[in-house]
Structure 1
Amino acid sequence: MSSNSTPYYYVPPLSRHPVMAAIGLIAFGFGMVGWVNHTSWGGSMAIAGVLWVLYVLYHWFGDTIAESNAGKNGVNVDVSYRWSMAWFIFSEIMFFAAFFSALFYARNIAMPWMGDVESKLIWPNFSAVWPNDGPAGLVAPFETMGPWPIPTINTLLLLSSGVTITFAHHALVKNHMKQAIIGLAATVALGFVFLCFQAFEYYHAYHELNLKLTSGIYGSTFFMLTGFHGFHVFLGGTMLAIVLRRLIRGDFTAEHHFAFEGAAWYWHFVDVVWLGLYICVYWM
């Protein structure tokens, strides 16, 4: 077990992982370029790049976990991890802020501009009411996604998961490992159910509402915001599942469990983003 009383800052030896991860990311980038340009090799190369990066991350995080369990990470490393996770979450906040800003601009600035008196000369039949299919009539008719029932159910699921992970954290701090495992397992399960409901929601949108990524600015902002949030739920759920496995095998103590805390921070961030989505995308 790691001890926060370790007096030095552990510096790991030279590693192959950064170079290998860079190779995978470059392959993914070239693959995506080929994919969007309809080449025969683009999709395969992009998928291979993703699988390569996942393979590298598996071994990279395995080495990091082994270092922690060997007692090499003291208080200085712990502080570095906390700052790193905080800045990572801040970058994610800026990521979603860009998409929320795009939604705000389209709805509150661009749309009223297209509906003003001067624009009526170009688009006389356009009604500046959100949502719409654009002024040129190029978007196929679609129906919007309301807040009931799936988005509201998913809101309850994520709020409940915030409660269960907080319960698990308090149990871990009090060294009640069984309760911590139950709370964390419930959190992972709630996240999985959330993703299942979102998958059904997308199926419903595409096949029954004709709402697609190509459905104008409404469709693009809807799927970009909810889709990236769903990806973050998947990523956070994966993190929590790994932490759960480590918790079961006894990697954490009441004093030393930053991996749990970091994953919990990320999960709470995912919860807060969803509340913003629920209000701005489904209700407004």
Structure 2
Amino acid sequence: MGRTPFYLVGPSPWPFCTASSVLGMAFGFVMWVWGKEGVLSGMGGIDLIMLGLLSLLLSLGQWWRDVSRESRVGFHTSYVEKAMWDGFILFLASEVMFFFSLFWALGHMSLAPDAGVNCVWPPIGIRTMKPWKVPLLGTVILLSSGATMKYAHLAVKVCSKKDMAVGLMLTMSYAIMFMCLQGFEYYWSSFTIMDSVFGGCFYILTGFHGMHVTFGFCFMSVMLCRVLRGHFTAKKHVVFKMCSWYWHFVDWVWVGLYVILYVWSF
């Protein structure tokens, strides 16, 4: 076999476990929307979603552990890091297109409402949330988290371990506050996911964004553990850079959500 600058990864169960967990969460979501019971007696959609989420977190944790070990022992050459970065950019592009499709659905229905919603938007009977109250507070919190993440990213470039940890912990705190506000908003909402196309668009958009916030929180938790163990240097921090870019992406998706879903639809 010829020499190669790339590390040849051995067999790993984590991609399969991660994909199976996501599939289970998707089935659970469908069961929850339709109010169906699962194959297992007494297991409903929410149960399957939580089981899939737990399995997903465990699988991702083990996967990240293996990647961290490979990096520490020197398997991540400059070629490997460039390939990882290119793959991350493609992943981010797919995420942009995913949310673009959801924004397109919302824009299509709001600009040309059909007879199913009496040709008005938002539909009659839907009491939308006031954009300058809880949603605005959530926007301020999430944008503040973007600033603290940038602070942590700048700290890693000068190898300031303390500032990296502080920036990450502040960002994680903002993420928790934002998710608490989203839960409060869901609890007091006057409509559900089954209340017209507006309810469907609202909960799917905010729900998927919330999933990305949760994933970003887990990503930052791993980064914090690695920061405390001294895994990053000024030149070797490509994974930290991925975490930073991902979180900024989550921030800007929410800005679009706030403008289109809250302000425009009010």
TM-score, length-normalised on structure 1? Answer: 0.81
Match runs of 1:56-95 below 5 Å: 56-95=59-98
Q: Where in structure 1 are there 5+ consecutive unaligned residues? A: 1-6, 115-122, 134-140
Aligned pairs, how many? 255
Secondary structure of residue in 2 paired with 1:97? helix
CA distance 1:186–1:33, shift in 2 (3 Å): closer
Match runs of 1:64-213 below 5 Å: 64-109=67-112, 111=113, 114=115, 128-133=119-124, 141-205=125-189, 210-213=190-193
Measured in 1, the distance between the counterparts of 2:118 and 2:25 equals 42
The CA deviation at 1:174 is 1.3
The CA deviation at 1:26 is 5.7
Q: Where in structure 2 are there 5+ consecutive unaligned residues? A: none
The CA deviation at 1:82 is 0.4
Query: Who is 1:38 aligned against?
Result: 37
Measured in 2, the distance between the counterparts of 1:195 and 1:25 equals 20
Query: Who is 2:242 aligned against?
Result: 262
The CA deviation at 1:22 is 5.0
Measured in 2, the distance between the counterparts of 1:158 and 1:26 equals 29
The CA deviation at 1:91 is 1.0
CA distance 1:251–1:270, shift in 2 (3 Å): same
Which amino acid in structure 1 is aligned with residue 123 of structure 2?
Answer: N
Which amino acid in structure 1 is aligned with residue 252 of structure 2?
Answer: V
Measured in 2, the distance between the counterparts of 1:192 and 1:231 equals 12
Measured in 2, the distance between the counterparts of 1:59 and 1:145 equals 40
The CA deviation at 1:162 is 1.0
Measured in 2, the distance between the counterparts of 1:104 and 1:257 equals 39
The CA deviation at 1:30 is 6.1
The CA deviation at 1:267 is 0.4
How far does the alpha carbon of each residue in 1:197-235 deviate from its partner, in whole angstroms, 9 at most, with x for none? 111111111xxxx21111211111111111111111111
Identity score, percent: 35
Which amino acid in structure 1 is aligned with residue 81 of structure 2?
Answer: D
Which amino acid in structure 2 is aligned with residue 213 of structure 1?
Answer: I
1:238 counterpart = 2:218 = yes
The CA deviation at 1:148 is 2.1
How far does the alpha carbon of each residue in 1:250-275 deviate from its partner, in whole angstroms, 9 at most, with x for none? 11111111111111111000011011
CA distance 1:155–1:16, shift in 2 (3 Å): closer
TM-score, length-normalised on structure 2? Answer: 0.86
Alignment RMSD: 2.4
Secondary structure of residue in 1 paired with 2:96? helix
